[in-house]
Amino acid sequence: MKNLTLIAAALLAAPLAAAPLAAARADTVFVPAQSDTEYLAKDHLIGAKVTGADGTIIGDVEDLIVTDQNQVVGVVMGTGGYLGWAEKKVGVALSSLKFEDKDGKLSVSLPDLTKEKLDAAPEFARKQPPKSLFERTAEKINELSDKSKPQIDEAKKQAGEAYEAAKEAAGPAYEKAKEAVSGAIESAKDAVGGTGTGDAAPPADATPRAEGTPPATEPAPAP
């Protein structure tokens, strides 16, 4: 990236207030892309290795110290320890840092700092204790929930509208099907004489009598 040293100096020396950026981008409230004169702190500054007077790495930049006027006055550097464990946090004044552009990478150093001075430096005292892993995880979950809520609400709305549209479209077909079923039932009832019209069918147990044979209810004549 071009002019990393100048960019870093501008970032750390100038206020982070939005007024200058707003003047440069008066036509929009959004920053559509990163320009050649800008960089992201996470890409080049946060996590940058810091070297001491003898050129060896003594720590890395973990955070920025910003005033209530949005002015960067220093950085928090992590030093010592192993993989982040038992690491000492040291606050370093902005004026003590030296920025250089080496092979397209931002180099941060403390030319006057020796190991003895670093060991004797007081540990940086935070105003508020660092957040635990549980707290950071809970905040991330809440953040994702807040971001996804509008999409969920919109999906619910669209699903409800689709249901109502489908119900409205299916209404005439449903009524027509009901009429067809009702007509079929009535036709079936007429076919079996359920309506009382037409000649009644003989009882199922009636049997024909031979001529001259008396009805079953009359006694047969004596011989």
Residues spanned by the domain of 176: 131-183
Alpha-helix runs per DSSP H in the chain: 4-13, 19-24, 41-44, 115-120, 133-191
What is the SS3 assignment for 194-219?
Answer: CCCCCCCCCCCCCCCCCCCCCCCCCC
119 and 139, same domain (yes or no): no
Q: Token pair of 212, please? A: 């001259």
Within a domain: 8? yes
**Is residue 8 a contact partner of residue 94, using CB atoms and an 8 Å limit?**
no
> DSSP H helical segments within 63-132, as ranges?
115-120
Residue labelled with tokens 């009901």: 178
Q: Are residues 78 and 39 in the same domain?
A: yes
The whole-chain average pLDDT of the chain stands at 75
User: Per residue in 46-99, pLDDT tens?
Assistant: 888 999 888 888 899 999 999 988 888 999 999 886 555 668 899 999 888 998
143 shares a domain with 114: no
CA 50 – CA 107 distance, rounded (Å): 7
The CA distance from 63 to 131, in Å, is: 14
Whether residue 218 is contained in a domain is answered as no
* Residue 32 and residue 99 in one domain: yes
Residue 125: which residues within 8 A CB-CB, separation 6 or more? none
Residue 80 and residue 117 in one domain: yes
The CATH number assigned to the domain holding 109 equals: 2.30.30.240
Domain boundary among 125, 140, 171: 125
Q: Does 79 share its domain with 102?
A: yes
Instruction: Tell me the three state secondary structure of residue 222.
Output: coil
19, pLDDT greater than 80? no
Whether residue 223 lies inside any domain: the answer is: no
Report the C-alpha gap between 75 and 152 in whole angstroms: 40
Q: Which residue would you say has higher pLDDT here, 221 or 157?
A: 157
Look at residue 217 in the predicted model and tell me its pLDDT. 52
Does residue 53 sit in the same domain as residue 151?
A: no
Residue at 209 is within a domain: no
Q: Identify whether residues 15 and 99 lie together within a single domain.
A: yes
Confidence of residue 209 (pLDDT cuts 50, 70, 90): low
Average pLDDT over residues 23-31: 68
Residue 221 lies in a domain: no
Using pLDDT thresholds of 50, 70 and 90, give the confidence band for residue 126: confident
Considering the domain architecture, whether residues 162 and 98 belong to the same structural domain is answered as no
State whether 97 and 144 are in the same domain: no
CA 58 – CA 176 distance, rounded (Å): 84
Distance of CA 196 to the CA centre of its chain: 69
CB 90, CB 123: distance < 8 Å? yes
pLDDT band for position 205 (cuts 50, 70, 90): low
Q: What percent of the chain has pLDDT above 90?
A: 10
The residue out of 125, 147, 174 marking a domain boundary is: 125
Q: What is the pLDDT of residue 149?
A: 73
Q: Are residues 93 and 160 in the same domain?
A: no
Q: Which pLDDT score, from 0 to 100, does residue 5 have?
A: 61
Contact present, 26 and 120 (Cβ < 8 Å)? no
pLDDT of 150-187, one tens digit each? 777 777 878 877 877 787 777 777 777 777 777 777 77
Domain membership flag for residue 195: no
Q: Cα(82)–Cα(61) distance, rounded to whole angstroms? A: 16
Same-domain pairing of 162 and 77: no
Residue 205 lies in a domain: no
Domain count within the chain = 2
The reply to whether 189 falls in a domain is no
* Distance set, CA 16 to CA 73, 197, 213 (Å): 11, 96, 123
